[in-house]
Structure 1
Amino acid sequence: MKKKVYFLIMLFICIVVSIITFHKIHLYHTGYKCKKELYKMHSIIDVSDSTFEGLSLLNTDLHNNDIFLSGEKHGSVKSIQMNLYLLKYFVEKENIKYILYEGGYANAEYLNTYLDTGDESIIEYLFYKSTNTLSYTMENYDLLKEIYEYNLTLPKDKKLKFVGIDLETPSVAIKYIHSLIPDSMPNNEIVQEFIYSIKMISKGNYLTESKRSIELLNQGEKEIKEYLGGNFFSLSFALKNLSISDNQLSRENILIDNFMTLYEHLPKEKFFGQFGGAHTNLSILSESLASYLQNIYEPTKGKVISIEFDYVNSYTYVPNVPSLDINPTIYTSTSPDFFLKDKSTALIKLNYENSIYNEKDIFLNPNNPQTEYFQYLIMFSDSSGATRWSLLR
């Protein structure tokens, strides 16, 4: 009897071990197959390489596309470094002039003044007004300074311009709007009332007072436009954006509407922008900025390239928490097994000719084309979290 029980126990153990072993072998084989397929067309990126050899896989998509977006997890040092490297690449290889900016229109206009003047008090002011945000880091501050230095090297006809399409920072937008009011007093009564209303806008009443100003603007648009002259578009755009900048629930629609307005107002050029990954998903189901521009908005339809960032053993920045020791981990959205063992930063092209990713996702699941979400993937290992900004280094 004891021998029978012992035999049954051993048989059970053997079956369980076999199942577990088979499952592990199957997962390893599947993972190996996925990774081998994923790296069929890839390159290693060295952000110190001024020839951009590691980004050359992007070359085939430069001429036929107008919008280039990279999707990051905010607060990662390597993401911020890649932002600058990609910008330089797109400027050098495709003469891109517009930096699509995940910030308000007024913030972007102040940044353009900084690019023109090099006055660092401008970016110091903007950082003081962004204390509780993910951009409030030393690395983002240095990024702006590096963009300024790089812009100095460009000829006049290739100078860069920030294009802000996000919600306004109220205090920044109010200051910007006030700065556009001419010194001379208007003679027209409706213009006088409009200017008085503009001057009354403050951080405490900007929602109600900006809406009142917009009503006056609509009543006397011709006269107000004549009075403001070249400042009319910027003031009216910032004012309208300020009036809705408390509505986080409609943020994606605001990004889309602002982009379309500015796209149709600005001289026609190509754009590069680095946003949070949620905004750069091309899938029609995501209803993101990138999705709308790729699938619905006729002038940019089919002309958007999305580059997704993924991370392993990497960290992000948390506002108001200066200690790196408690910066949270960025979790990989693919698989830790997909990253290179030597921890190099890899660019992976998915939209090559006859690519399997036109039918399957990166886990090789059928009927889920990965290229409908993004066409490129950049894989980062061991990125530290950014550090809280301070003028005292």
Structure 2
Amino acid sequence: MLSKEVLKACKLVSLLLVLVMVFSGCGGTEVERYLKKYAKPVDFEQGLDNKTFGNANDYRFFFAGEIHQQTMIYPAKKMMLQYLHENQGVNYLLMEEGMGAGLLIDHYIQTGDEEILNFALECKKGLHTDAEPERDLWQWLYEYNSQQPEDKKIHAIGIDAEFNINAMIKGISLLVEQPDKVSKEWKMLFEEPMGDEKQSFAKVVSLLLPLEKHEKELRDIFGENYEIVVRIAGYLTSFVSYIQNGGSGQLGDELYSFRDEHSLENIRFLLNTLPEDAKFFAQFGAGHTYQTLVNDFSTGTENFHRLGARLNEGRFPLKGQVCSILYMVENKSGVTKKNEPLGYYDWFDNRVFQDYFEQATFIPLDMEGSPFTQEIEGMVPNEEGAALTDYFQKILILPNSEEAPEIQCEKFRDDLAGIEYSSVRALEVCIDKHLNEPSHEDNAQHLSEMNCLYVPPVCLENTEKIDNIIVAPAWVQVSFEQNEFKYLFEHHFADENAYQLAQYYYKQEKNNPTILEAENTPVYSYDGGIDERWYVWMQDEQCFVLRRLKNGSGMAEKDLLLCSAQKLMLNTERSNIKSTS
């Protein structure tokens, strides 16, 4: 048996061990204990709750930071907006685009006007918002908004630079209150919404500036919307001055600073215009949202500070009321097969959150007693005294993200009574999502029956050659380039009129006709249109036309290689149902 002295010694050692564990932080470091308590997994369908979001009472401006064109920022935006709207009284969504362009999105989420949405999306091509999930986001918001009472509806407002002048002009056209007072010059501008951007910019500047010269006319046309037109004109004035003073139009510190200052002034305008208790949610590129300077290649240098910092300093009305929420977007590594944060977050030691990299997780960093509200050695290298909450107050970890596909556009062609698509994918999206809309009524029946697209052999093998597609009530047209010529390939599904006309020209010896052969099929050829060569043939009892849009000698043999209709199968829900039924 152990002696009493040994037993006492064991008890003393045990007590000392307990005390050491208590005072050294049982269960890990202070940071680990905090994260264990507050880091919560996120289900995008179920959304956030107040407990998960944490401290919100002191905030009026919720500022989420994304990485553009990543798939996971879209479910995050839906979830965040719905939570803030239902739990924090946020009714205003501020967008990283111009006030004029933003009018298109707001019009859509109030009315469901798909033609306006399609126009807005087309104008986003090539911009930071060029991502197909944009379409689903705004359609979701329209549906969500339609279920809200009038005084609770969400309004979308652009506060940044005007990245697309055509979108801005179209937005201005929605502000007209007195159509009968619109001048001929304004009408011409509104009726050519997709004109050359440089020419459109020059025209709209001449119609708005100097503002004093045009004030009476603008007040007559736009009525109560005049002040919004003034804000848009203010942007044009600032931008013209910026460029004239040598400002750079390329992305960089100088342009970012111009944009953030312009956004700040638009927010000031909204604070003076909207109800005093108005709350806001904005989702911009992460670099705009930091409330303290980040000296990093992706966010700028020490030459300036970003919008998040400007909102929260000096005598600005929102000082102390800004909540920055960092979306830490992750891609799965092809090597480790594990999620890793993108390089945009290398300016701080993000490894502290690595236990949560594989699960969408929300972490409020600003709760009482948070270690993130004080300096943690090595957390922000080379920034003495910096706490992580000096930069942002919440973090949402978004694993399994990917680069989003580009916007698949469609637009209505009144001149052809048809719809034009920018790609095969755009056509597939339309077939799956738009056929019940009144705007698609004339073409809905044929679209609903389409399980394939007829194309020449070269486009079957290389679908990226397809420039656009037009679906009209009697025919479908595919545009492509080959042999340094522009071609139109048409499937005339409703009748054989084009074939009968080609036969008539041949018999009457009109338009330089000839008859050729492709794959044992007679092909009638003649000069059609202005400087065009047409080829017409029947295949499987269907009429097809190939049009070369510029005449060229010695091209018949090469053209005949294109005179064969191949089935390019469409990947749509409707075609998939047909193939399995």
Q: Distance in 1 between matches of 2:43 and 2:98?
A: 32
Q: CA deviation at 1:76?
A: 1.7
- What's the counterpart of residue 342 of structure 2? 330
Greater share of strand:
2
**1:249-303 deviation per Cα after TM superposition (whole angstroms, max 9, x unaligned):** 1222222222222332223310011111011001167621111111135311110
Q: Distance in 2 between matches of 1:223 and 1:136?
A: 36
Query: Residue type of the partner of 1:265?
Result: T
SS in 2 for 1:283: coil
1:278 equivalent among 270, 287, 290: 287
1:163 equivalent among 157, 166, 172: 157
- What's the counterpart of residue 10 of structure 1? none
Query: Residue type of the partner of 2:170?
Result: K
**1:172-210 deviation per Cα after TM superposition (whole angstroms, max 9, x unaligned):** 112333454533348xxxxx7996998899733355444
- What's the counterpart of residue 58 of structure 1? 53
- What's the counterpart of residue 345 of structure 1? 360
The structure with the largest alpha-carbon Rg is: 2
Q: Is the 8 A contact 2:356 2:397 kept in 1?
A: no
- What's the counterpart of residue 263 of structure 2? 255
Structure 2, unaligned stretches of length 5 or more?
Answer: 1-27, 244-248, 294-301, 334-339, 409-425, 430-581
Distance 1:88 1:222, change over 3 A: same
Deviation larger for 67-76 or 362-371 = 362-371
Q: Is the 8 A contact 1:170 1:242 kept in 2?
A: no
1:299 equivalent among 313, 317, 341: 317
Q: Distance in 1 between matches of 2:360 and 2:181?
A: 58
- What's the counterpart of residue 230 of structure 1? 224
Q: CA deviation at 1:228?
A: 3.4
Q: Is the 8 A contact 1:38 1:362 kept in 2?
A: no
TM-score (normalizing by structure 2): 0.53
For residues 4-23 of structure 1, what are the structure 2 equivalents within 5 Å?
none
Q: Distance in 2 between matches of 1:102 and 1:44?
A: 28
Structure 1, unaligned stretches of length 5 or more?
Answer: 1-31, 187-191, 316-327
2:129 equivalent among 119, 131, 135: 135
Matched, 1:36 2:32: yes
- What's the counterpart of residue 110 of structure 1? 104
Q: CA deviation at 1:83?
A: 0.5
Distance 1:314 1:126, change over 3 A: farther
Deviation larger for 383-392 or 148-157 = 383-392
Distance 1:362 1:346, change over 3 A: farther
- What's the counterpart of residue 49 of structure 1? 46
For residues 80-159 of structure 1, what are the structure 2 equivalents within 5 Å?
80-159=74-153
Q: CA deviation at 1:159?
A: 0.4
SS in 1 for 2:109: helix
Q: CA deviation at 1:367?
A: 1.2
TM-score (normalizing by structure 1): 0.76
Q: CA deviation at 1:143?
A: 0.8
Q: CA deviation at 1:349?
A: 1.8
Q: CA deviation at 1:73?
A: 0.9
Query: Residue type of the partner of 2:291?
Result: L
2:387 equivalent among 342, 365, 369: 369
Greater RCO (CA < 8 Å, at least 6 residues apart): 1
Distance 1:335 1:231, change over 3 A: closer
Matched, 1:184 2:193: no
Q: Distance in 1 between matches of 2:218 and 2:113?
A: 31
- What's the counterpart of residue 20 of structure 1? none
Q: Distance in 1 between matches of 2:106 and 2:79?
A: 20
Query: Number of residues paired by the alignment?
Result: 342
Query: Residue type of the partner of 1:129?
Result: C
CA RMSD of aligned residues (A): 3.2
Q: Is the 8 A contact 2:55 2:367 kept in 1?
A: no
Deviation larger for 69-78 or 170-179 = 170-179
Distance 1:218 1:297, change over 3 A: farther
Q: Distance in 1 between matches of 2:260 and 2:282?
A: 15
1:267 equivalent among 268, 275, 278: 275
Q: Is the 8 A contact 1:35 1:338 kept in 2?
A: no
Matched, 1:67 2:67: no
Q: Distance in 2 between matches of 1:330 and 1:36?
A: 23
SS in 2 for 1:75: coil
Query: Residue type of the partner of 2:35?
Result: Y
Q: Is the 8 A contact 1:210 1:243 kept in 2?
A: no
Q: Distance in 1 between matches of 2:171 and 2:404?
A: 29
Greater share of helix:
1
- Aligned-pair identity in percent equals 23
SS in 2 for 1:205: helix
Q: CA deviation at 1:243?
A: 4.7
